[in-house]
């Protein structure tokens, strides 16, 4: 083989040269193909111009690295440095224990800190575990956490004024700023974000504006479910279902508290579900102290439809639908208040109705307070509408009124005594000022009392000392009208038209010997009065001490004196019998007397005097003999007094 020395160009050969060993001291240039079966050692720089003509079957070992063009540097330490775009048609595998890829010196890098785990770091350099920001492990993604517990676990250790996640979507067809989430089975999709040109957050069933909005939070903080225009903090258009506890267990499902002390001083709504009506209820509980969580139940609705208030929690088998506990003594346990002012005639009341279950409620009866002025004053009125129609009871249906002064009117709205019952107007006339009961009618006015056939009907009179000092009674047993005073009959009328005075003053003395002397009735009554005693004395107050008859009342009295003589010794002697009396009463001598018999008496004669007199109550009457003949012994005299009629004067 021959070598040709080409001036200024080294050694050249136009043929194939086989060299067992070749050392190129300076530059070596090959215009064709250089085939080397052994090792090529280059002390300087190996430069190739046509990468398609460089072919190595074995390994190329470079002491100071290999530079490929101007973009790739292969260092002697095994590092690859690129400045352009690298394209790989196959796979890249890094077999280091903790392989890393750094995108910039000291900048972001990918790292494999453990098996099947990839982490992204924002800095700290190769080989460092610091500044980790994202980790993928076991199907979970953690942001700012090395131990994600959820599919996406995002954690922030500081407050971020601008938010944690920002999603901006410039797609007006489906809603600006909307994030979309679709399930894998393509069953449906939901999106959330901000609707077009609206300062609000929405959750939509579907894709943005093309879907159906389910929830909205507007700029004032109000939340709407089922409505896109919430007017309160939570505005629900639809049904709310709350599941709070197991069977027969009371649970709290709504708590209302303060923003500054949410765990105390709160109110609650609780519920219980069970088998018996008493175990099916909703209760309202209010905070009852200033510094604890204690509560008092104020209202309970049980499944039977009853409402219990004031702390009542159970009910017997009664049918009441409202039971209220109002304390030991409380005149206003239930109050009905009507607003609108205090115009005279305004009503505040409660109404009553009947009908089929779940049918129209037709109020036909009512009780109401009818305003009569300020300070809530009013008359208590009762209303009844008996019309067979669907019209509600009204003020025109008043049947009874209790006025503020205690007067009660039935059939009249203007009673003028304690009880005024009117069937019809009698005209322009008022009750007597002392009347307690007034019955009024435009026709005959009747007070009727009904009782069984074996009973009686009474009108009873009394005073502070005796509740039954007098009465008028009709006895059904004997069909008799009776008048009583001091619990005793004084006058009766039977069904035959007869009347009877039960206590008519009647006095009939016994027959007794007469004695006395001239003027003895006015001077010495004990020696002149006949020592008579009562035989028939019906309420006449006979004075047995003074032997007087005492008139019980003012009235006209029929007085009778009977004298019966026996075998007197001397006949044709003038004898004078007298009746003495004292008007108004006396216990001693009679102040007046009248001759009742003045005659020459014969043996075995009977003489009589009878005459009506007017005497006042208390007048005493006595009889005796008066004359010059002295006492007539063993003879008989009798006094009878009968009340014809009593008078008031």
CATH number of the domain where residue 514 is located: 2.60.120.40
CB atoms within 10 A of CB 254: 12
Cα angle 506-508-513, degrees, rounded to a multiple of 5: 160
Residue 88 is predicted with a pLDDT of 74
SS3 615: strand
Contact predicate 507/542, CB 8 Å:
yes
Number of domains in the chain: 5
Could you report the per-residue pLDDT of 536-572, keeping only the tens digit for each?
776 667 787 777 788 888 889 999 888 887 776 666 6
Tell whether the model's pLDDT for residue 383 goes beyond 90.
yes
pLDDT tens sequence across 211-226: 788 899 999 999 999 9
Write out pLDDT tens, residues 177-233.
555 555 444 556 777 777 777 888 888 887 666 778 889 999 999 999 999 999 999
For residues 308 and 16, give the distance between their C-alpha atoms in angstroms, rounded to a whole number: 118
What is the C-alpha separation between 152 and 145, in angstroms, rounded?
Answer: 11
Pair 279, 294 in one domain: yes
Question: What's residue 503's pLDDT?
Answer: 62
- Contact (Cβ atoms closer than 8 angstroms) between residue 540 and residue 550: yes
Asked if 488 and 541 sit in the same domain, the reply is: no
Radius of gyration of the chain (CA): 66
Regarding whether 620 and 490 lie in a shared domain, the answer is: no
In the numeric block, the tokens 């069909």 are attached to: 479
Which of 313, 337, 364 delimits the end of a domain?
313
Q: Are residues 483 and 532 in the same domain?
A: no
Give pLDDT tens digits for 294-331: 899 999 999 888 899 998 988 877 778 899 998 888 88
**Given CA atoms 120, 124, 125, 130 in this order, what sign does their dihedral have?**
negative
Coil, helix or strand for 396?
Answer: helix
SS (HEC) of 626-639:
CCCCCCCCCCEEEE
Averaged pLDDT, 33-40: 64
Residue 424 domain-assigned (yes or no): no
| Residues 608, 476 share a domain | no
Strand order across the 140-143 sheet: 100-102, 109-111, 117-121, 132-137, 140-143, 152-154
Answer yes or no: do 127 and 256 share one domain.
no
pLDDT value at 391 more than 50: yes
Q: Is residue 385 part of a domain?
A: no
Please report the DSSP string for 73-141 in residue order: EE-TTS-EEESS----SS-----SSS-EEESSTTS-EEE--STTEEEEESSS-TT---SEEEEEETTEE
Mean pLDDT of 111-139: 90
pLDDT category of residue 518 using cuts at 50, 70 and 90:
low
- Quick one: 547 and 629 in the same domain? yes
pLDDT reading at 115 higher than 80: yes
Could you tell me the sign of the dihedral formed by the alpha carbons of 332, 337, 342, 348, in that order? Answer: negative
Residue 140 falls inside a structural domain: yes
- Pick the most confident of 203-212, 398-407, 486-495: 398-407
Work out the average pLDDT over 599-628: 81
533 neighbors 600 (Cβ within 8 angstroms): no
Residue 354 lies in a domain: no
- Judged by DSSP in three states, 56 sits in coil
Domain identity same for 109 and 190: no
Give a yes or no: residue 71 inside a domain: no
Average pLDDT, the chain: 80
Could you tell me what percent of the chain has a pLDDT over 70? 74
Question: Residue 606: is its pLDDT beyond 60?
Answer: yes
What's the order of all strands across the beta sheet hosting 66-68? 66-68, 72-74, 80-82
Question: Of 259, 278, 313, at which residue does a domain stop?
Answer: 313
Cα(540)–Cα(186) distance, integer angstroms: 121
Q: Is pLDDT of 643 > 50?
A: yes
Lowest average pLDDT, out of 16-20, 137-141, 404-408, 462-466, goes to 16-20
- What pLDDT is recorded for position 628? 46
Integer Cα distance of 223 and 236 in angstroms: 8
Buried b (16+ CB within 10 A) or exposed e, 545-566: ebbbbbbbbbbebebbbbbebe
Averaged pLDDT for residues 278-297: 86
Contact 206, 212 (CB under 8 A): yes
Nearest partner of 496 among 472, 480, 482, 484, judged by Cα: 480
Is 357 a domain residue? no
In DSSP notation, 322-346 reads EEE---SS-TTSS-----S---TT-
CB-side neighbour CA atoms (13 Å) of 80: 8
User: The domain containing residue 634 runs over which residues?
Assistant: 506-646
Place of tokens 């440095």: 81
Please give the average per-residue pLDDT across 6-30, as a whole number: 58
CA distance 353 to 361: 6
The reply to whether 272 and 149 lie within a common domain is no
Domain-embedded: residue 544: yes
Indicate whether 609 and 641 sit together in one domain: yes
pTM: 0.54
Average pLDDT over residues 385-412: 94
Residue 558 and residue 521 share a domain:
yes
Q: Which of 287, 313, 339 is the last residue of a domain?
A: 313
Gap between the Cα atoms of 42 and 63, Å rounded:
9
Nearest to 135 by CA among 127, 144, 126: 144
Is the residue at 413 inside a domain? no
Claim to verify: residue 209 and residue 261 sit in the same structural domain: no
Q: How far apart are the first and last CA of the chain?
A: 192
Long-range (24+ apart) CB contacts under 8 A made by 295-301 are 295/267, 295/268
DSSP 8-state assignment for residue 465: T
Rounded CA-CA distance 279/466 in Å is 58
* d(C-alpha 124, C-alpha 109), whole Å: 9
């Amino acid at each position: 083989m021959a070598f040709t020395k080409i001036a200024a160009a080294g050694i050249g050969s136009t043929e194939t040269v086989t060299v067992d060993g070749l050392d190129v001291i300076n530059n070596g240039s090959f215009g064709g193909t250089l085939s080397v079966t052994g090792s090529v050692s280059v002390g300087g720089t190996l430069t190739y111009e046509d990468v398609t003509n460089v072919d190595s079957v074995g390994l190329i070992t470079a002491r100071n690295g290999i530079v490929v063009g101007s973009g790739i540097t292969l260092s002697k330490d095994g590092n690859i440095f690129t400045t352009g775009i690298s394209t790989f048609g196959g796979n890249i595998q890094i077999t280091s224990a903790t392989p890393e890829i750094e995108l910039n010196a000291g900048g972001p890098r990918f790292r494999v800190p453990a098996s099947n785990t990839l982490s992204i770091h924002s800095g700290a350099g190769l080989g460092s575990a610091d500044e980790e920001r994202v980790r993928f492990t076991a199907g979970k993604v953690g942001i700012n956490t090395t131990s994600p517990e959820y599919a996406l676990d995002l954690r922030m250790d500081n407050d971020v004024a601008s938010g944690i996640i920002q999603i901006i979507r410039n797609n007006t067809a489906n809603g600006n700023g909307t994030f979309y989430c679709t399930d894998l089975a393509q069953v449906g999709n939901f999106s959330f974000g901000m609707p077009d040109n609206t300062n609000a957050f929405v959750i939509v069933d579907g894709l943005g504006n093309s879907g159906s909005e389910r929830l909205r939070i507007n700029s004032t903080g109000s939340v709407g479910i089922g409505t896109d225009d919430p007017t309160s903090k939570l505005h629900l258009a639809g049904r709310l279902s709350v599941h709070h506890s197991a069977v027969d267990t009371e649970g709290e499902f709504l708590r209302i508290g303060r923003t500054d002390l949410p765990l105390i001083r709160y109110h609650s709504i609780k519920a219980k579900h069970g088998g018996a009506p008493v175990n099916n209820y909703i209760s309202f509980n209010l905070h009852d102290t200033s510094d604890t969580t204690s509560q008092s139940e104020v209202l309970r609705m049980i499944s039977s439809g009853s409402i219990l208030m004031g702390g009542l929690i159970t009910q017997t088998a009664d049918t009441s639908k409202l039971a209220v506990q109002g304390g030991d003594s409380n005149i206003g346990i239930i109050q009905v208040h009507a607003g609108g002012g205090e115009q005279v005639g305004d009503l505040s009341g409660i109404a009553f109705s009947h009908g089929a279950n779940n049918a129209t409620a037709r109020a036909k009866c009512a009780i109401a307070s009818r305003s009569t002025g300020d300070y809530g004053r009013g008359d208590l009125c009762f209303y009844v509408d008996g019309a067979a129609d669907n019209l509600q009871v009204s003020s025109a249906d008043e049947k009874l009124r209790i006025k503020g002064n205690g007067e009660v009117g039935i059939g009249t709205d203007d009673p003028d005594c304690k009880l005024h019952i009117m069937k019809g107007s009698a005209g322009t006339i008022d009750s007597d000022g002392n009347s307690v009961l007034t019955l009024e009618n435009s026709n005959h006015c009747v007070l009727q009392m009904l009782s069984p056939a074996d009973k009686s009907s009474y009108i009873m009179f009394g005073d502070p000392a005796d509740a039954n000092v007098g009465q008028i009674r009709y006895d059904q047993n004997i069909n008799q009208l009776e008048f009583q005073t001091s619990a005793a009959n004084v006058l009766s009328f039977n069904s035959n038209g007869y009347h009877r005075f039960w206590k008519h003053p009647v006095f009939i003395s016994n027959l007794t010997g007469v004695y006395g002397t001239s003027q003895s009735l006015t001077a010495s009554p004990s020696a002149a009065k006949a020592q008579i005693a009562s035989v028939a004395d019906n309420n006449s107050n006979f004075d047995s001490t003074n032997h007087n008859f005492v008139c019980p009342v003012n009235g006209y009295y029929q007085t009778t004196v009977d004298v019966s003589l026996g075998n007197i010794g001397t006949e044709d002697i003038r004898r004078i019998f007298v009746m003495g009396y004292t008007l108004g009463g006396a216990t001693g001598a009679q102040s007046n007397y009248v001759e009742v018999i003045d005659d020459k008496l014969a043996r075995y004669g009977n003489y009589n005097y009878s005459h009506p007199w007017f005497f006042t109550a208390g007048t005493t009457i006595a009889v005796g003999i008066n004359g010059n003949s002295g006492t007539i012994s063993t003879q008989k005299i009798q006094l009878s007094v009968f009340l014809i009629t009593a008078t008031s004067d």
